[in-house]
Amino acid sequence: MATAHTIDPTQVLTLDEPLTLDSGQTLPLVEIAYETHGRLNPAKDNAILICHALTGDHHVVSDHPLTGKPGWWVRMVGPGKPIDTDRYFIICANVIGSCMGSTGPASLAPDGEPWAMRFPVITIRDMVRGHVALLDSLGIDTLHAVVGGSMGGMQTLSLAANFPERARAVLVLASTARHSAQNIGFHELGRQAIMADNSWREGDYYGFEDSPEKGLAVARMAAHITYLSEEGLTKKFGRRLQDRSEKTFGFDADFQIESYLRYQGISFSNRFDANSYLYITRAMDYFDLAEEHGGRLANAFRRSRARFCLVSFDTDWLYPTSASRNVVQALNAAGKPVSFVELSAPYGHDSFLLDVPALDRVVAGFLG
């Protein structure tokens, strides 16, 4: 039976008041799932907020409750690691709109039925409003740092721009200040794959035997290609065949890359909600930090007193180095302290999640 993929998170904050959104609507009954690691010091000035990417969640260190796999950034966060839980109090929250414990389209609306497509369209800034509400509940006025990669980087930039007093340092990895036409196009491809699945039922598939798993799997396959590099794909798969010595002259997964992408699509559809994918990709597509601040990106950072660090990767064609340089130029124009580095790694956009020792050194050095 297709049901909401919402799980019991480590901790849950229930907001006392509805959350006001950029659309002008309000979202009632908001719950925010989050995890913390390390200890908050008496001054409450050693907190680091980690913001996750599109298909991530708050399980940054702990094992994923559905897949059993280690936390998505366990190589970066922990005792003695670049984001050191012996020194810092780490917070990671599932964004609103998602399906891993925070309120999203799979959650129950006030009428007791799943929101489905009645859920209001959200923005990156709305996600950040949820984070700020969480910080308020924890009594944290100012973060030591906010850190994020990809969509997480969008959240870090949004927090720095819209809540400038809330962070002393801002670390942005493999991200951008706005989505390009190409980015929007890839997301629209994925959304249409989901909505073309007969099991989508205009988003009202909760409670049925089937859900739009095929459409979601195709969306994931298309997106996953953008996270990798040609160099990485060639090295890992090339044109090698999958468990066979010759082509079948059919449409089975002859090539290893085909088998890999099919596996990625199927495994993703088992842990993620299709409607959440629609809503979160739409939020990313709407993201344009300059547009929010009078059309000039430098204006977004005028009130910030934080120091910034941006990191890009030479094989990332989803959010290329030029996107990071654009933010750096805006920060320079606003007179803000900023450092920038392009790292060499063969993994494409996913490099910020993988074993890149140079990134470890940058993160540890910037956080101090």
Once rounded to an integer, what is the mean pLDDT over residues 130-142? 97
Would you say residue 344 lies in a domain?
Answer: yes
Give the type of residue at 191. Answer: R
Residue 2 has pLDDT above 70, yes or no: no
pLDDT digits (tens, 9 = 90+) for 87-112: 999 999 999 999 999 999 999 999 99
pLDDT digits (tens, 9 = 90+) for 194-241: 999 999 999 999 999 999 999 999 999 999 999 999 999 999 999 999
- In the set 98, 150, 158, 276, the catalytic residue is 150
Residue pair 18/71 in contact by the 8 Å Cβ criterion? no
Residue 46 has pLDDT above 80, yes or no: yes
pLDDT tier, 7 (very low <50, low <70, confident <90, very high otherwise): very low
Would you say residue 6 lies in a domain?
Answer: no
pLDDT tier, 143 (very low <50, low <70, confident <90, very high otherwise): very high
Active-site residue, 86 included: no
pLDDT digits (tens, 9 = 90+) for 155-174: 999 999 999 999 999 999 99
59 and 115 both lie in a single domain: yes
50 and 161 both lie in a single domain: yes
- Amino acid 6: pLDDT: 39
CATH of the domain at 359: 3.40.50.1820
- What is the C-alpha separation between 260 and 40, in angstroms, rounded? 42
pTM of the model: 0.95
Once rounded to an integer, what is the mean pLDDT over residues 2-27? 78
Would you say residue 59 lies in a domain?
Answer: yes
Which range of residues forms the domain containing residue 194?
Answer: 184-278
326 and 348 both lie in a single domain: yes
Indicate the residue among 278, 299, 314 that finishes a domain. Answer: 278
Active-site residue, 316 included: yes
293 and 240 both lie in a single domain: no
- In the set 126, 197, 254, 316, the catalytic residue is 316
- Amino acid 148: pLDDT: 98
The tally of CA atoms less than 13 A away on the side-chain side of residue 270 is 11
State the chain's mean pLDDT as an integer: 95
* Percent of the chain residues topping a pLDDT of 70: 98
CATH of the domain at 249: 1.10.1740.110
Would you say residue 1 lies in a domain?
Answer: no
291 and 173 both lie in a single domain: yes
Once rounded to an integer, what is the mean pLDDT over residues 275-300? 98
Once rounded to an integer, what is the mean pLDDT over residues 75-89? 97
- Amino acid 10: pLDDT: 77
79 and 149 both lie in a single domain: yes
41 and 152 both lie in a single domain: yes
Would you say residue 123 lies in a domain?
Answer: yes
Question: In this structure, what are the phi and psi dihedrals at residue 91, rounded to the nearest 5 degrees?
Answer: -125, 135
- In the set 229, 349, 350, 351, the catalytic residue is 349
pLDDT digits (tens, 9 = 90+) for 54-73: 999 999 999 998 899 999 99
Indicate the residue among 278, 300, 330 that finishes a domain. Answer: 278
Residue 5 has pLDDT above 70, yes or no: no
Once rounded to an integer, what is the mean pLDDT over residues 164-192? 97
Active-site residue, 150 included: yes
Instruction: For residue 323, count CB atoms less than 10 angstroms from its CB and return exposed for 0-12, middle for 13-18, buried for 19 or more.
Output: buried
Once rounded to an integer, what is the mean pLDDT over residues 258-285? 96
Residue 9 has pLDDT above 80, yes or no: no
pLDDT tier, 38 (very low <50, low <70, confident <90, very high otherwise): very high
pLDDT digits (tens, 9 = 90+) for 303-328: 999 999 999 999 999 999 999 999 99
Question: In this structure, what are the phi and psi dihedrals at residue 164, rounded to the nearest 5 degrees?
Answer: -60, -20
68 and 173 both lie in a single domain: yes
18, 21, 25, 31 alpha-carbon torsion, rounded to 10°: -40
**What are residue 312's DSSP bridge partners?**
342
Residue 8 has pLDDT above 50, yes or no: no
Question: Read out DSSP for 63-127?
Answer: PPTTT-PPPTTTTTEETTSSEETTT-EEEEEPPTTSSSSSS-TTSBPTTSSB-GGGSPP--HHHH
